[in-house]
Amino acid sequence: MLVEETESRTKPERRGRQVVRWLAGAILVLAAGLGAFYGESTAPTRPSQEMAKQPVVRDFVRVLDLIDEQYVVTPDRERLTRGAIVGMLHALDPHSNFFDRREFSEMQDEQSSHFYGIGVTINQRNGRIYVLGVSEGRPAEKAGLRYGDALLAVDEHSAKDWTQSDALQYVRGERGTTVKITVERVGEPAPLTVEIMRDEVPYPSVRNAFMLRPEIGYVGLTGGFNQETSDELHNAISELKEQGMKELILDLRRNPGGLLKQAIQVSETFLPRGTEIVSVRGREGRYPSQVYRSETTNPETLPLVILINGETASASEIVAGAMQDRSRAWIVGEESFGKGLVQTVFRLRGGTGLTLTTAKYYTPSGRSIQRPYNGLSFYDYFSTRRVDEESGKNSGATKPAAKSSGERGNDKFYTSTGNEVYGGGGIRPDTVVKITDEHIPLRDACFEFARLLVSGTGQNLPEYKIKQTEHGHRLRGNEFPVTESVIQAFREFVRLRPQLQVRETEISNRLDYVRRRIRAELLTAAYGLEIAEQFLIESDPQAMRALEELPKAKRLSDQARLFPTHTAATD
470-491 tens-digit pLDDT: 999 999 999 999 999 999 999 9
Q: List 354's β-bridge partners, or say none.
A: 98, 346
Strands in 442-537 per DSSP E: none
Q: Find out whether 326 and 528 touch, Cβ atoms under 8 Å.
A: no
Say whether 8 is catalytic: no
Distance CA 15, CA 160 (A): 38
pTM over 0.95: no
List of residues 6+ apart from 87 with CB closer than 8 A = none
- pLDDT at 51 (0 to 100): 58
Say which of 149, 325, 430, 444 is annotated catalytic: 325
In contact, 337 and 315? CB cutoff 8 Å = no
Q: Where are the beta strands (DSSP E) in 33-177?
A: 97-99, 114-117, 120-125, 128-134, 150-154, 157-158
The Cα 546–Cα 551 span in angstroms is 10
| Residue 155 is a catalytic residue | no
**Which one is catalytic: 230, 251, 294, 339?**
339
Q: Which domains does the chain have, with CATH numbers?
A: 2-91 (no CATH), 114-202 (2.30.42.10), 214-341+358-369+405-430 (3.90.226.10), 440-543 (no CATH)
3 state SS for 270-321: CCCCCCEEEEEEECCCCCCCEEEECCCCCCCCCCEEEEECCCCCCHHHHHHH
Answer yes or no: are the C-beta atoms of 455 and 187 closer than 8 Å: yes
Q: Return the exposure string of 550-565: e unless at least 16 CB atoms fall within 10 Å of the residue's CB, then b.
A: bebbbebbeebeeebe
Q: Which pLDDT belongs to residue 569?
A: 36
Can you state the angle between helices 260-268 and 229-242, rounded to 10 degrees?
30
pLDDT, one tens digit per residue, over 241-300 is 999 999 999 999 999 999 999 999 999 999 999 999 999 999 988 888 899 999 999 999
Rounded-to-integer distance, Cα 5 and Cα 385, Å:
31
The catalytic residue among 205, 230, 314, 365 is 314
Beta bridge partners of 220: 208, 251
Cβ-based neighbours of 91, under 8 Å, separated by 6 or more: none
Per-residue confidence in pLDDT tens, the chain, 571 aa: 676 643 333 333 333 334 444 445 545 544 444 433 333 333 334 455 665 567 777 888 888 889 989 999 998 877 888 888 899 899 999 999 999 888 888 888 777 777 889 999 999 999 999 999 999 999 999 999 999 999 999 999 999 999 999 999 899 998 999 999 999 999 999 999 999 999 999 889 999 999 999 999 999 999 999 999 999 999 999 999 999 999 999 999 999 999 999 999 999 999 999 999 999 999 988 888 899 999 999 999 999 999 999 999 999 999 999 999 999 999 999 999 999 999 999 998 888 999 999 999 999 999 999 999 888 888 888 876 544 333 333 333 333 333 433 343 458 999 998 889 998 889 999 999 999 877 899 999 999 999 999 999 867 899 999 999 999 999 999 999 999 999 999 999 999 999 999 999 999 999 999 999 999 999 999 999 999 999 999 999 999 999 999 999 999 988 766 555 444 333 3
**Would you call 267 exposed, middle or buried from its count of C-beta atoms within 10 A (0-12, 13-18, 19+)?**
buried
Tell me if residue 412 is catalytic.
no
- What does the alpha-carbon distance between residue 503 and residue 506 come to, in Å, rounded to a whole number? 5
**φ/ψ of residue 155, rounded to 5:** 50, 45
